[in-house]
Every structure is written in C-alpha cells, then in structure tokens.
Structure 1
Amino acid sequence: MRPLAPGVHQLLGRPPHLVNAYLVEDVLVDAGTPSARKRITRQLDGRTLAAHVVTHAHPDHFGSSRAVCERYDVPLWAGQRDAEAIATATPATGPGLVPALMSRMPMPDAHPVARGLREGDEVAGFTVLDVPGHSPGHIALWRDHDGVLICGDVFFNVLRPSAPPKFLTYDDELNRASMRRLAELRPKLVLFGHGRALRDPDRLSRLVG
C-alpha cells in the first residue's frame, strides 16, 4: 500500500492509478472490479477491517465488494440513494444508447448494504458529503482538519483533472454542481477513483471556472 496522509493508504493497482481503492484507518473505500478481488485481499490480509464503503454504485467500484465483505465479515456502507443499486447490482444509467448497452453487460455480485450514508455522517474521521450526479447517490469523504478529499468519480484525473465522461454519468448537470461544491473546499489532497492523487488546492477551482 502507498501512504498518502495520516491514516490514509492507496491500495496498489494494476495498472497503477487506473481504478483506485483506499484504506482509511480500518475502512476500505471502494473495491474496484471483480477481477481485483485477489489483489485487494492480498493487501488487506492481516489487517483489521471494520467496514467497507462504496462511493457510488458503478461496477468498477463495487466489483469486489461482496468478496471483501464476506472474507472479512464486515458491513457494506454506501450513499443512501445508491444502496438499492448495489444491493441488486442494477446501477442507474444516464440517457443514450451507450449507457443502455452497458446496462446489459454482466454485473458484479450483489451484496446487501447495511447502512445508507447521509450528508454529515462520519466514517473513519471523514465527513460524508452528498455529491450526486455521476450516480444518484454518489458520496465523497472530506477530512476538514487537513484538507483530504476522497472524491470518487465526481472528478477524474486520468492524464489531467476533468469531469467524468458524460456517457458514464447519470446526470451531467447535477455532477457539475457537485464538482463546484467540492472545488470550493479547496482540498489540499484529492484522491480520485481514477487517476493519481492531486496536491494543488487551486487546480479543481480552475477546472470548474
């Protein structure tokens, strides 16, 4: 694992930084695709895990969630409005042909969500922020005292910081509002679902204009 901030580690990926998962104290945040199961569990074995949080109901984020929860006997938590999508493995899709076709692809194993997270809840020293758009119940995690933000897919950082692809986003306009909200926090460290960590408080602000 790669240490990024006190109590925050990034799990090593293959290829690096393409699909990220994080260990925050004793909570795993996101679980990649189904094919990431062995890679994730190799890094978690021997550690104490209390819960698993999914930032949003997309299969590259809850792909190995069932395997993780069953192996370590921990509860799965997610944004309240994404809970059913994860529990039934039926993510909400945006408009258009491509999302419709993607919805017919095989989905990861479903798993019950033990706790629907709401705005203001606390997870391992982070505050839950309700930032919908990329999915209906997308959440971010914010630690105010040192400016660490786990933003899920509200932003991507593949090659450069950007909005997520529209065809993967449930409501692009709503996600833009969530982007503006997170940028206004001026985080000192941004951790993305896709891409390298960013240590530039002004970069997100410049992106949203």
Structure 2
Amino acid sequence: MREIAPGVQLLGGRPPHMVNCYLVGDVLVDAGTPGARRRLLRELSGHRVSAHAVTHAHPDHFGSSRAVCEAMDLPLWCGAKDAEAIETATPVIGPGIVPKLLAKMPKVPSYAVSRGLVEGDEVAGFEVLDVPGHSPGHIALWRESDRVLIAGDVFFHFGRVSAPWSFLTADVAVNRESMRRLASLRPAIALFGHGPPLRDPDVLERVAQ
C-alpha cells in the first residue's frame, strides 16, 4: 500500500494497476475481484477501516466486497442506482454477444447495501458525484481542496486514457457526458479503477471530446 495523494492510499494489485482499490481515509473504495479477498484483508490488517464504498456494480469492483465487509464488519455503500445490482449480483452491462456470455458466468457474492450514495454526499472528505453510463449508478469521488478525483471506470487508463469498453458499458452516450463532466473539473490527479494515476488534466479533456 502506498500513498498517492494526502489520505489516499493505493492497495497493491497483481499485476499493478490492473484493478485498483483505494483506502481513502478510513473508507475502502472498491474491492476488486473475488480472488482479491486474501490480499485485501492482508493489506488492510492494522489499518482503521470504518466503511466500504463501491464506485459501481461490476464484479471486478465488488467481487470481494462481501468477504471484506463480513471479515471486518463494515457497512457497504454504493451509488443508489447500483444498489440492487450488488444485492442481487446482477450487474447491468452493455448490449451484444459478449455481455450475454459474461452474464452466464458464475455470479460474484452479493451483499446488502447499507447506504445508497447520491450526488453531494460526503465520503471520507470527498464529494460524491453522480456519473452514470458505465453503470446506472456509477459514482466518482472529488476533493475540491486539492483537486483529487477518484474516477472509477468513467475512464480507462490501459496504456492510454480512453472511454471504457463499450461492451461493458450500460449506456455509452451517457458515459460520454460523465467523461466530459469529470474532465471539466481539471483534476490535479485522476485515479482510475484500471490504470495508473494521471496528473495531466489536458489528457482527460482531449479524450472526453
């Protein structure tokens, strides 16, 4: 675990930056795939954690949520419009053949949502932003004081910054609007669900056009 912004720590991944989880103050943000359970619990051991927030209801972000919440006795928070998807382990993804095949794979463990987050809520000193598209209830976290953005999967950062893959995105056009909104904030550092941090706001603006 390493600090990448004041009060924001990036948990280790395998491989690094493939699927990111963050400890923001005392809140775990995202919990990776089901296979990340042991690694997450090992890294969080000795740290104060009071809650777990999920940026969006896709199985690579809440795959270990149930295991972590049960092991550490944490409430689970997510965007209000994604709560049902987590509680039933039925994420909303894009149209086409690939999503249909993915839907037939074994479900990740579901878990009860304690708090449905909405625009303007506060999480560990960050403001909740409602940025749907990749999923219906996708949220981002924004700290105006030092312009730190936790963008989830509104953008991908695999080698280069891009829109998330369309076959995993519930509504591509709506996600594009969310990309423009986040880019307009001109974050000093943008943190992603996939990929390393970015410290160049011009890149987000170009990709969001």
Aligned equivalent of 2:99: 99
Unaligned residue ranges in structure 2 (runs of 5+): none
Q: TM-score, normalised by structure 2?
A: 0.99
Query: Could you tell me which amino acid in structure 2 is paired with residue 34 of structure 1?
Result: P
Alpha-carbon shift at residue 47 of structure 1 (Å): 1.1
5 Å-filtered alignment, 1:182-201, equals: 182-201=182-201
Q: TM-score, normalised by structure 1?
A: 0.99
**Cα-Cα RMSD:** 0.6
Instruction: Give me the whole-angstrom Cα distance separating, in 2, the residues matched to 1:119 and 1:141.
Output: 10
Mapped to 1, the partners of 2:32 and 2:62 lie a distance apart of 6
1:52 aligned residue: 52
Which residue of structure 2 lines up, in the alignment, with residue 4 of structure 1?
4
Matched, 1:120 2:120: yes
User: In structure 2, how many angstroms separate the alpha carbons of the residues matched to 1:81 and 1:207?
Assistant: 26
Deviation, 1:191, is 0.4
* Alpha-carbon offset, residue 93 of structure 1: 2.4
**1:132 maps to what in 2?**
132
2: CA distance, partners of 1:208 / 1:130 = 17
Aligned partners of 1:204 and 1:107: how far apart in 2?
33
Rounded Cα–Cα distance in structure 2 between residues aligned with 1:201 and 1:153? 16
Give 2:150's aligned residue. Answer: 150
SS at match of 1:140: strand
Gaps of 5+ in 1: none
Count of aligned positions: 209
Runs of 4 or more, structure 1, over 3 Å off, are none
SS at match of 2:60: coil
The alignment partner of 1:60 has SS state of helix
